[in-house]
Structure 1
C-alpha cells in the first residue's frame, strides 16, 4: 500500500514544491512508483515537470469537486514511474465551492482511496496556507514532511503549523505522524544557517533529516526547464542532496 505524505509549511518559498518534484524523481530512480498530487493553485509541481498546467482540464480541482475520479485525473509525466495529478488556478475557488459542505475535510482522502495501492509513495504538495486545502492533505496523509528554510524567520509561524497538525490529529486523523523536518536553502558558511539548524535539531531531535538541501542556483533553474534536478544537473550538489534524501526516506520506512 502506498504511503501518503504531505509536504507542508504555510510559508511560501521554503522548498515544498522543489522537494516534492525532486524527491519523487529520485525515488523513481530507486525503483519506486510515485504519484505527486498538487493541491497548490499555483500549479508549480506540474509546470516543474514540463506540463502546461493552465490549459489542463483534468486537475485536482475537478477531482475534489467530484467531477473526476482519481484514475481519470492522473497524468503520466515524462519520467516513467512518476505520475501526477496536477493543479492550476481553478483550484483557488475551492474554498467557495466547499462552503457549508459536509465532510469537506475528507474529499481528498476519499478521492485517493481507490488508487493508493498502485504506488509506493504518494506526495501531496501543499499550498503556502493553512486553509481547507492543507487540511484535506493532512486528513488524507499518514504523515507530514515539513520543509524549513534555514533563515531568520524560519521558526516563526512553525508553531501555527504544529497547532494545525495537532488539530487534525485530534479531530479527523488520529494516525497522522510527523514524517520529518527537512532543512532547505542551507548555506553552511553562515552562522545564522548553522544556528537555525541547531535550534531545529534541538527541538525536533531525530525527526530532522540528516540530509540538508543547500542553497543552489541549479535547483532554482531546473523548474523553468520542466525537469527535476537529477535530469537537469545530475552531477551537481542539489541532485546529490535529493538522492541522499530519497535514500534516507526509504531507510526510515
Structure 2
C-alpha cells in the first residue's frame, strides 16, 4: 500500500513544485516506486518531470471528472524515473465542474485507490490556494509536507494551513496528519531566516525536518531542461539536500 502525501502551502512561490519533483526523483533514486500527481493547473510539476503538457490527450482533469482512469492517463518521467499523473490549464475548469459531482472532495482518493498497490509513495503537488483541488489532495493523503521559506509572511500563512488540515482531519479524513515542515530556499547568511528557523523548531519540534534545502541556482535551472534538480546536477548542494530529505522521509515513515 502506497503512502500518500500532499505537498501543500497556500502561499505561492515557496517551492512546492520544486519539492514535489525533487522528492519524487530522490525517492526513485533510493529504489522507491513513486507516482507524482500534479494538481496545479499551471502544470509545472508535469513540465519539471520532462513531460510536455501541450501534447497530453488526457490529464488529472479527466480523471477527476471520471472521464479517464489513472492507469491510462499516467506518464513515465524518463529523466526522474517515476510516474506522473499530469496536468495542464484544463484543470482550472475542474473547480466549477466538480461542484455538482457526488463525493466531490474524494474524487482523487477514489481514483488513486485503483493503482495504490503499484507504488510505495504517491506525492500530490497542490496548487497555491485552499481550493477544491487542494481539498481533494488533503482528502486523499495520509499526511502533509509543508515547504516553508524562513520569512515572516510564511509564518502568517502557516497557521491558516494548519487550521485547514485540522478541519479536514476532523470532518473528512481522519488519517490526515502533518508529516513535517521542510525549510526551503534557505540562506544562512540572513539573520531573519535563522530566527524564523529557530521559531519553527521551538514551536513544532520534531515535526521540522532536519534536512534544509538551500537557495540553489542549479535547482532553479533544472526545470528548463525538463529534469528534476537531483538528476540535472546530482553534485549540487540543492540536489544533495533533496536526496537527504528523501532518505529522512523514508526513515520517518517507518517510525509512524
> Shorter-chain TM-score: what band?
over 0.9
Aligned to 2:180: 180
Query: In structure 2, the residue corresponding to 1:180 is in which secondary structure?
Result: strand
Determine which structure has the larger helix proportion and give its number.
2
Q: State the 4+ residue runs in structure 1 displaced beyond 4 angstroms.
A: none
Q: Is 150-159 or 165-174 further displaced after alignment?
A: 150-159
Kindly indicate whether the alpha-carbon contact (under 8 Å) linking 1:105 and 1:136 is maintained by their aligned counterparts in 2. yes
**How many pairs does the alignment contain?**
253
Shift of 1:81: 4.3
Query: In structure 1, the residue corresponding to 2:32 is in which secondary structure?
Result: coil
Aligned to 1:154: 154
Distance in 1 (alpha carbons) for counterparts of 2:99 and 2:235 = 48
Distance in 2 (alpha carbons) for counterparts of 1:54 and 1:8 = 25
Query: In structure 2, the residue corresponding to 1:113 is in which secondary structure?
Result: helix
TM-score relative to the length of structure 2: 0.96
Supply the RMSD in Å over aligned alpha carbons: 1.0
Kindly indicate whether the alpha-carbon contact (under 8 Å) linking 2:26 and 2:242 is maintained by their aligned counterparts in 1. yes
Q: 1:8-27 residue pairs with structure 2 within 5 A?
A: 8-27=8-27
Distance in 2 (alpha carbons) for counterparts of 1:102 and 1:24 = 31
Q: 1:232-247 residue pairs with structure 2 within 5 A?
A: 232-247=232-247
Q: Does 1:58 align with 2:58?
A: yes
Shift of 1:79: 3.9
Unpaired segments ≥5 residues, structure 1: none
Distance in 1 (alpha carbons) for counterparts of 2:99 and 2:83 = 30
Kindly indicate whether the alpha-carbon contact (under 8 Å) linking 1:54 and 1:89 is maintained by their aligned counterparts in 2. no
Q: Is 77-86 or 40-49 further displaced after alignment?
A: 77-86
Q: 1:1-253 residue pairs with structure 2 within 5 A?
A: 1-79=1-79, 81-253=81-253
Distance in 1 (alpha carbons) for counterparts of 2:79 and 2:119 = 14
Query: In structure 1, the residue corresponding to 2:137 is in which secondary structure?
Result: helix
Kindly indicate whether the alpha-carbon contact (under 8 Å) linking 1:4 and 1:123 is maintained by their aligned counterparts in 2. yes
Distance in 1 (alpha carbons) for counterparts of 2:182 and 2:65 = 32
Distance in 2 (alpha carbons) for counterparts of 1:132 and 1:230 = 31
Unpaired segments ≥5 residues, structure 2: none
Distance in 2 (alpha carbons) for counterparts of 1:81 and 1:217 = 23
